[in-house]
A and B are shown apart, each in its own frame.
Chain A
Amino acid sequence: MPQQFIQPQQNHETVTDPINRGQTGVGTEPLTDVLDAVLDDISTALDENAEEYVSSFVQKGGQ
């Protein structure tokens, strides 16, 4: 099973920058300090292997 989870284009060295698409109209303004707290929460909780986490979620489609 695990082999089918890994798609060729998911190799992050070959993909387009997942966040930036060059020129954007959004996200230029710095966020407030409150995001420090949010990012702390996330990094504390999500310490598991990201590849494994992502590949665990495979189901047949719905509508």
Chain B
Amino acid sequence: MPQLRDSSSERLRDEGEVCPGYNSFDRICGLETEYGLAATGTRRHCEASEAAMAMFRPVVMKARSTNTYLENGARLYLDVGSHPEYATAEARDPMDALKQDLAGEAIMRNLASSAQQELRTSYGAGTTVHVFKNNADSSGHSFGCHENYLVRRYVPLSAIKSQLLPFLITRQLFTGAGCVTSDGFEITQRARFVEDGVSSATTRVRPMVNTRDEPHADPNEFRRLHVIIGDSNRSQWATFMKLATTHLVLCVIEEAARTGKRSGLEDCALNNPGAANRALSADLTLHAADMDPTDADAFLSGIDRFDNATHPTHHSGSEIHDVNHHTTGRKITALEIQYRYWSVASRFVNTHRQAMTQSLPHSDCDEVLADWKMTLDALQSGDLSFLRSKVDWIAKYELLSELRNRGSDISYARLRQLDMDYHDISAGVTYPSLCRHGVIHTLVSADAVRSSVQTPPNDTRAALRGAFITAANACGGEYACDWTDLKTSRPQRLEAQLIDPFSTEPPADYQRLINSLHVRPSHRS
């Protein structure tokens, strides 16, 4: 990992020689999704590790490894604990990241299908392989869906902690995947498993943001923000909005760090992010949990400056607001914090219109803001019918409630089974049925997903990596690669480095590599 370095926020070089994407709000984002595995209907117990090896048999045959990169630029590998994992290729636009993530689901589904055929010969014809895009198994082991954002190096980790964490926690009101637990239904899958705010730990104590700093880019210019608090989403809207709204907030934080001015988000800092996270997750009223900002009075005094100007009515729906407005010690809800982020982001887009428009090549900042606002208004008013087509936890919660309302005697195990089935991308029936009947809306067509299995985003380094892998596969070349480095050992020993993730311009060494792959070797040893 040549780009690994400490997490200081100082640049080491002159401002002159930066990559073209540096002086902009352009961003690379991506998703790493760990999947859970199980086999049911077997004659004897089938370990997850066996199912995983069966799934990765075709991968190992082709790549001689359980860790490989694909023609669409993505990485596919088997992670610790027999979790199949898929990391999307670099995307500039959240819509591209969503398509790449859905391509990952399709790839896992295919692998599961061939594994199921194989396992049926030894475990019986009734064997079904389940691939769960969720975040915990039934005995409480947790695994994640990690978001990566390329962030300019001058953003200090203190700003991430005080200004981004409150957003990451409270956005779960619309990005939470929902979870049936023994203590009741929760909004998020991960709240019980993440503790620290920002740290370098991973599996023992999980932080919400991991500081492991491998930018896969020039480390003088960028850090990679590794967000691990998020749930895995089935809802395409939720995946898109999770990335899009986080991008907008990061732009605000970056610009404040660059100019040394206030972002307007300082007052959102929380006393205890872990406690706020757990409180939010358990609060289905959406108005009871106190996010406990470090300086509640400062936050409240900002309501007039920020929120009322852009959103004069949002307090009227809540009694708490009217009774306790501007009194010391009153609680601050997750929705209030979300409204603050929305207000600040909305102003920011208006005052940085050209650069912000450019930062999202396929999506529209104004549409993201409008959708975000409608979502908050629906949550605020309690009118959730608008959100069941978009928000995973609401769709799941309403389905399970409906089942309960129909008077059937439904066991805890059955509820958990339905919860798990919702996340099963291989054999699950719940989510496809909700989509087929129009309860949940999708954003990406089946054709577009199929195309994304073969095709990387065309406006990042991923396009070059994908073309390299496609060419190497076509000529039977032997190659190895990672996010930045490409190497061949046959037909020729060559290598190339792609250090700028924004660039689709082939460097000279890359061109030599590609040329060597287009010349068929006269004989093969």
Contact = CB atoms under 8 A, between A and B. Distances in A.
Interface of A: 1-2, 4-5, 7, 9-12, 15-21, 23-31, 34-35, 37-39, 41-42, 45-46, 48, 50-63
Given A54-B420, A62-B34, A7 B139 contact: yes
A57 B412 contact: no
Nearest to B210: A63
Interface stretch (B39-47, B152-160, B323-331, B340-348): B39-47
Interface of B: 34, 36-41, 45, 48, 79-83, 85, 130, 132, 137-144, 146, 180-185, 202-203, 206, 210, 228, 282, 284-287, 382, 384-385, 388, 394, 397-406, 411-418, 420-421, 429-430, 433-434, 437-439
Contacts, number: 180
Contact of B137 (A19, A41, A59): A59
B40 A58 contact: no
B357 to A, nearest CB: 35
Nearest to B404: A19
Given A26-B397, A37-B437, A62-B143, A57 B420 contact: yes
8 contacts: A10-B182, A18-B412, A18-B416, A19-B415, A41-B433, A58-B141, A63-B146, A63-B228
Contact of B45 (A1, A25, A34): A1
B48 A59 contact: yes
Contacts of B141: 58-61
A10 B413 contact: yes
A44 to B, nearest CB: 8
A5 B138 contact: yes
B418 A46 contact: yes
Given A50-B416, A61-B137, A63-B203, 13 more contacts: A7-B139, A10-B413, A16-B184, A19-B180, A26-B382, A34-B437, A38-B433, A39-B406, A59-B37, A60-B82, A60-B141, A61-B141, A62-B80
Contacts of A18: 180-182, 184-185, 412, 415-416
Contact of A37 (B41, B83, B139, B433): B433
Contacts of B420: 53-54, 57
Given A21-B284, A50-B414, A59-B48, A27 B384 contact: yes
